[in-house]
Chains A and B, each alone.
Chain A
Amino acid sequence: MTAEELLAIAESERQAKQQLKYCVHVCSSTGCASSNSEAVAAALQQHVKEAGLQQAVQVNMVGCMGLCALGPLVEIEQVQVQGGAPPTTVLYQSVTPADAPEIVSGLVSGQAVQRLRLETDDPFFTRQTKVVLAQAGRIDPERLEDYVADRGYQAVFKALTDMTPAEVIEEVTKSGLRGRGGGGYPTGLKWNTVAKVQSDQKYLICNADEGDPGAFMDRSILESNPHLVIEGMIIGAYAVGASKGYVYVRAEYPLAVKRMKQAIRQAERAGFLGQNICGADFSFNVEIRLGAGAFVCGEETALMASIEGRRGTPRPRPPYPAASGLWGKPTLINNVETFANVPGIILDGGEAYARVGTEKSKGTKIFALTGKINHTGLIEVPMGVTLREIIYEIGGGIPDGRKFKAVQTGGPSGGCIPEQFLDTPVDYESLSALGSIMGSGGMIVIDDSSSMIDVAKYFMEFSKEESCGKCVPCRVGTAQMYDLLCKFSAGQATEFDLRLLEDLCDLVKNTSLCGLGQTAPNPVISTLKYFRDEYLAKIKKPEEAFGVASTQAEHPIEEASQ
């Protein structure tokens, strides 16, 4: 495809759309699909047809709109406007197929269906900054043309025809983008390292393993806008000189896998993947590899072992993937969201990108907001927004009149942040200073009905189950810590157990082989730091600890045997 052909597609798509009066967007991502959005779309289609509105109304399946808890979500986008008034969009929540006739007749009369309406001037919508998710929920993820109509693949053209690999890396470096997979490693620096290594073959991997419990950022990106990720991968491959790419995605994400496969085929047909892409002397192919859903397979060395067909266990680094990755070749590995940030950086420039965010954390971050919060869903916010803004404004606060207690970020590798730090800006440095991490974007809100020991226990059980078992501190240490937390939870712990637990946190953190073990103690360390009272309250009094009855009457058997 040439740049002119690309622009022609974009133009004809725009013109086709201008013929319409309304675009009806129905969310088809996993959240809404599980509440039957496909039947909603079919019913809407049916009624549009019956009303003879096919020429004026188009029903599209789109990706995630963010408020997954209120799905199925349907957005009515007004395309043509009479009399110069600005076009409006109306959002409907919890739509059922039975609502279709009313919605369609509303299109004819111009009257929105008030009982289904979701106010789009709610802070949930207005306080977000959608960059990576800008097209999610607006374009049909199954159509390349939809993506192309909205500047899609123009960044590939720009990079491959107007820029050298070094200039691409320069732009990414300028943007300040840092890895969204959890570590926050500067992306430009990583690309530069891989680019500098001389090798006959280099690989690129998109890490879509997403194993943290409750996290669904990467899944939503893949489901809502797979071409954005592919475009980022092509640019990355061009920058570092990789000719073969893999998307490592967990098999539990069937819709993401399906859409990604479809998008790869479309991109191949359009000539964005394959030989001599955009007429440049650059070839790149992408394949999908399915993971069996082990958390540890998201760790880069384990992931590469898994792609090579070996047991997915981490190995010591160095060598880092940049020097020796897949099959011993230099390999660039980045997270889904990292790649999804790239096309925008190339199109608008690194400096423009860097205008959003804090000094050391640039751009936006997607979070999966869950737990005791009114607006459960997927949000994208500028780096540096405070936890309070996320929880009380965007998230709409705590339901059932309960009190906020803590927010857990970073999943099993992160920590719990208490109320006194709610005004902390969300960026890599501030969160780790509090003993938590940014992580990949899981954010779980905890209210005053929960025990922090149980929270720590939950995550420790996860780490224990997901430990690969290779190194002793993590394999045995997580099992012992879990047992100790169970003792606390049951009120059976002693002062000695508290010491054992603290010592184990220290050992496992400092001696484990990979990030899983090194961060597994974080939920315990942070709850011990901020909610120590809860642990102390669960310690048995000395007389109980030695099995001596505190009140004789409670132990009739002992009494009888005396």
Chain B
Amino acid sequence: MSPVPITAEPVKTFKIDGQDVSARETESILQAARAHNIDIPTLCHLEGLSSTGACRLCMVEIKGSNKLLPACVTRVQEGIEVVTNSERLVKYRRMIMELIFSERNHVCAVCVVNGHCELQSTAQKLGMDHVRYPYLNPQLDVDASHERFAIDHNRCILCTRCVRVCDEIETAHTWDVMGRGIGSKVITDFNQPWGESETCTRCGKCVNVCPTGALFEKGKSVAEMAKQRQFLPYLVSRREAMIE
């Protein structure tokens, strides 16, 4: 076997919050920040899946520009000065969290992932202690027709991680989004009950990437319902090795 050629990808150097950093030119600002232990909050992004730039939590400023950019989908550039935590950004992030909490019925006390929830921990990290917007209280159902898993749409934040992992990693494409605007909803197959899905392989990946308690494994207690994500970087690295 011939050794994998090392292609020297151009490197960009720039600043994040005043700190000098460098990253390969194909990396996102988010990847660069994380590699340097600089925290930028995210919800829709998950390393190993494609980025959609949907939640807008990762918005950052570039000095000299009034326009905000989503760190998860914006490539690094030579010489830019990224600001990740200005007063304005902190304010926007809290508002976005409040909007998410106002959208559906997030009742942490009765949630299977209480204590292991990314939505909950992100809210805490961002210091969101109350929601100023009226709760929209939609009427949403729970689909428990699958023998192993269930979805509670009340807890879904439409990050579409399940859609992407099922399509991009499991290649079953069981999940998709139906409707639009505030009426959007993730569905299995052609909006059939999950239990009747003909494409689902019961692999459980969607459950494990779900940041909230929307997708959960039946019969597990709250303590057991911590999500397992180790498989994702492993699968992705295996796949990249195969492609090379």
**Which A residues have a C-beta under 8 Å from some C-beta of B?**
294, 296, 311, 315-316, 464-473, 475-480, 483, 500, 503-504, 507, 510-513
Query: Which parts of B73-116 form the interface with A (CB within 8 Å)?
Result: 73-74, 92, 95-96, 99-100, 102-103
* Docked-complex contact A316 and B134, CB < 8 angstroms: no
Q: List 28 A-B contacts (CB under 8 A).
A: A294-B180, A311-B177, A315-B52, A315-B53, A316-B53, A464-B181, A466-B180, A468-B181, A469-B177, A469-B182, A469-B184, A470-B52, A470-B158, A471-B53, A471-B55, A471-B56, A472-B99, A473-B99, A476-B102, A479-B136, A480-B102, A483-B134, A483-B136, A507-B95, A511-B59, A513-B53, A513-B56, A513-B70
Complex contact A311–B176 (CB within 8 A): yes
**Residues of B participating in the A interface, judged by any CB pair closer than 8 Å:** 52-56, 59, 68, 70, 73-74, 92, 95-96, 99-100, 102-103, 132-134, 136, 157-158, 176-177, 179-184
Inter-chain contacts of A513 with B (CB < 8 A) = 53-54, 56, 70
Total inter-chain residue pairs, C-beta < 8 Å: 91
Q: Is the CB of A469 within 8 A of B133?
A: no
- The reply to whether B59 and A475 contact each other, CB–CB distance below 8 Å, is no
Bound Cα distance from A465 to B74, whole angstroms? 29
A507 to B94 alpha-carbon distance, docked (Å): 11
B176 contacts across to A, CB distance below 8 A: 311
On chain B, the residues within 8 Å of A470 by CB distance are 52, 54, 158
A475-B158, A513-B56 known; A464 vs B182 contact (CB < 8 Å) = yes
Name the A residues within 8 Å of B56 (CB-CB): 471-473, 511-513
User: Would A469 and B92 be within 8 Å (CB), given that A316-B70, A480-B102 are in contact?
Assistant: no
The reply to whether B55 and A472 contact each other, CB–CB distance below 8 Å, is: yes
Q: Are A473 and B73 in contact (CB under 8 A)?
A: no
B240 CB → nearest A CB, Å: 20
Closest Cβ of chain A: how far from B126's Cβ, in Å?
A: 14
Residues on A with beta carbons closer than 8 Å to the beta carbon of B102: 476, 480
* A471 to B136 CA separation, bound complex (whole angstroms): 17
Answer whether A475 and B92 are a contact pair too, CB < 8 Å, given A500-B133, A512-B56.
no
A241 CA / B73 CA spacing, docked (Å): 30
Complex contact B132–A472 (CB within 8 A): no
> What CA separation (Å) do A515 and B73 show in the bound complex?
17
Q: Could you say which residues of chain B place their CB within 8 Å of the CB of A466?
A: 180-181
Q: How far is the CB of A18 from chain B (nearest CB, A)?
A: 56
A512–B56 Cα gap in the complex (Å)?
Answer: 7
From A294, A472, A478, A479, B96 is in contact (CB under 8 Å) with A472
Nearest neighbor of B75 in chain A, beta-carbon distance: A318
Given contacts A466-B181, A467-B182, contact A511 B53 (CB under 8 A): no
Contact B184 A475 (CB under 8 A): yes
Let me know if A468 and B68 touch, CB within 8 A.
no
Q: Contact at A469–B158, with CB atoms within 8 Å?
A: yes
Complex formed: what's the CA distance from A311 to B181 in Å? 13
Closest 8 CB pairs of A and B: A469-B184, A467-B181, A476-B99, A316-B53, A479-B182, A316-B73, A511-B56, A469-B181
Give the shortest distance, in Å, between B218 (CB) and chain A (any CB). 28
Cβ contact within 8 Å between A511 and B133: no
Q: Which of A315, A472, A483 contacts B100 (CB 8 A)?
A: A472
How far does the alpha carbon of A476 sit from the alpha carbon of B176 in the complex, in Å? Answer: 20
Contacts of B70 in A (CB 8 A): 316, 513
Question: In the complex the two chains form, is A480's CB within 8 Å of B180's CB?
Answer: no
> With A and B bound together, what is the CA distance between A475 and B133 in angstroms?
14
Bound CA–CA A477/B98 (angstroms): 10
Q: Contact check, B181 vs A479: say whether CB atoms are below 8 A apart.
A: yes
| Chain A residues, CB < 8 A from B177 | 311, 469
Q: Is the CB of A469 within 8 A of B103?
A: no
Task: Give the complex CA separation of A477 and B180 in angstroms.
Answer: 14
Q: Are A475 and B96 CB-contacts (below 8 A) given A311-B176, A513-B54?
A: no
Q: When chains A and B are docked, how far (Å) is the Cα of A472 from the Cα of B95?
A: 10
A510-B182 in contact (CB<8A): no
**Residues of chain A with a CB closer than 8 A to B136's CB:** 476, 479-480, 483
Residues of B within 8 A of A476 (CB): 99-100, 102-103, 136, 182
Closest B residue, CB atoms, query A481: B133
Which one of A469, A471, A503 lies within 8 Å of B179 (CB-CB)? A469
B181 to A478, Cβ gap below 8 A? yes
Contact between chains at A507 and B100 (CB < 8 Å): no
Q: Which of B92, B99, B158, B177 has the most CB of A within 10 A?
A: B99
Min CB distance, B100 to chain A, in Å?
A: 6
Q: What's the Cα separation between A500 and B136 when bound, in Å?
A: 15
Cβ–Cβ contact A477 & B99, under 8 A: yes
